[in-house]
């Protein structure tokens, strides 16, 4: 039997050396796969890493999605494994079990494991690509996925143009999921395969509120047909105004909204109405 060929793309700013060491140690300990590991130093020159790890130095921090794109271009495997530098793999068969899912159907583009905090803190809602999240959510086809730790078929990744690099941070997973679904690919969730990752809040990042607003608009401008695009932006604007109580943070959010409206979002390829219907049948109409 041919062993799956997997390229792990690890993005790091070099500010979590202990976590990165554990991430790479448990990654290199994976069994049953042919593994290629690419560590992208995002504004940091990687050093002191295992000899099996290939490194790429990016002089300035180019953001998360473009950093992943850079790593993917250097990677060699048929399956890409995007892996946060503060995650780790608790067993040696994580990648082999995820890779086996691709044998079910050649149109499977993404397989996401279940994220679990190693200290037992509650799992963030955004990690579970299900409306019902009890016990980690049900296995099977999904229409969204958690981009922090996921596998992706290289051919699917390349067909849709990779991550939207200019997003810098936030909602790049929604953007690429929409494009994959519209191209006829399937996304899968395997909650029985667990990856450990600290349960953190995205709002800890200084750019969160600005990028959250700007990139929501860009997702709509790039992917949604009219008038769904306008409904999507309007719905999320109402939700955000209701949720954000701090006036300073809300002001930052509105500045990001203006950026999204005024600035170029990149190539526009609105999804078909059949894709809109597919998302809606899954309980995730593209207006929320």
pLDDT tens, position by position, 257-267: 999 999 999 99
Percent of the chain at pLDDT > 90 equals 95
CB atoms inside a 10 Å sphere around CB 155: 12
The answer on pLDDT for 201 being more than 80 is no
At a CB cut-off of 8 Å and minimum separation 6, what does 73 contact?
none
* Average pLDDT score over residue span 27-44: 98
Look at residue 204 in the predicted model and tell me its pLDDT.
61
Thinking of the domain 5-200, which architecture would CATH place it in? Alpha-Beta Complex (3.90)
The region of weakest confidence among 19-33, 193-207, 226-240 is: 193-207
Tens of pLDDT, residues 72-112: 999 999 999 999 999 999 999 999 999 999 999 999 999 99
Kindly indicate the confidence band of residue 228, based on its pLDDT and cuts at 50, 70 and 90. very high
Look at residue 2 in the predicted model and tell me its pLDDT.
81
* Average pLDDT score over residue span 169-174: 96
Report the b/e string of 107-129 with b at 16+ CB within 10 A. Answer: ebbbbbbbbbeeeeeebbeebbb
Kindly indicate the confidence band of residue 127, based on its pLDDT and cuts at 50, 70 and 90. very high
At a CB cut-off of 8 Å and minimum separation 6, what does 191 contact?
113, 114, 128, 135, 136, 137, 138, 139
> Is residue 148 a contact partner of residue 197, using CB atoms and an 8 Å limit?
yes
Look at residue 248 in the predicted model and tell me its pLDDT.
92
Look at residue 202 in the predicted model and tell me its pLDDT.
74
Kindly indicate the confidence band of residue 203, based on its pLDDT and cuts at 50, 70 and 90. low
- The region that residue 141 occupies, defined by phi over 0 for left and psi between -120 and 50 for alpha, beta otherwise, is beta
* Average pLDDT score over residue span 230-244: 95
Percent of the chain at pLDDT > 70 equals 98
Look at residue 72 in the predicted model and tell me its pLDDT.
98
The answer on pLDDT for 221 being more than 90 is yes
This prediction's pTM: 0.96
């Amino acid at each position: 039997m041919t062993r799956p060929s997997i390229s792990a793309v690890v993005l790091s700013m070099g500010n979590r050396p202990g976590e990165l060491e554990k991430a790479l140690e448990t990654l290199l300990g994976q069994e049953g796969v042919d593994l290629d590991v690419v560590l992208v130093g995002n504004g940091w020159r990687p050093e002191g890493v295992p000899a099996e790890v290939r490194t790429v130095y990016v002089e300035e921090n180019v953001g998360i999605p473009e950093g992943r794109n850079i790593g993917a271009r250097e990677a060699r495997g048929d399956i890409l494994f995007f892996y946060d530098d503060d995650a780790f793999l608790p067993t040696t068969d994580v990648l082999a079990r995820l890779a086996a899912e691709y044998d079910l159907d050649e149109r499977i583009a993404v397989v996401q494991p279940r994220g679990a905090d190693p200290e037992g803190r509650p799992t963030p809602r955004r990690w579970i690509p299900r409306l019902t999240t009890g016990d980690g959510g049900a296995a099977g086809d999904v229409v969204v996925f958690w981009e922090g730790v996921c596998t992706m078929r290289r051919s699917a990744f390349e067909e849709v143009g990779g991550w939207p690099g200019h997003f810098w941070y936030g909602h790049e997973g929604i953007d690429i999921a929409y494009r994959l679904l519209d191209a006829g690919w399937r996304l899968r969730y395997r909650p029985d395969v667990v990856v450990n990752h600290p349960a953190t809040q995205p709002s800890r990042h200084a750019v969160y509120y600005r990028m959250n607003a700007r990139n929501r608009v860009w997702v709509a401008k790039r992917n949604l047909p009219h008038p769904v695009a306008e409904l999507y932006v309007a719905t999320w604007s109402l939700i955000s105004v209701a949720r954000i109580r701090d006036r300073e943070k809300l002001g930052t959010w509105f500045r990001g909204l203006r950026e999204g409206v005024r600035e170029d979002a990149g190539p526009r390829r609105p999804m078909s109405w059949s894709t809109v219907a597919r998302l809606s049948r899954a309980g995730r109409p593209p207006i929320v």
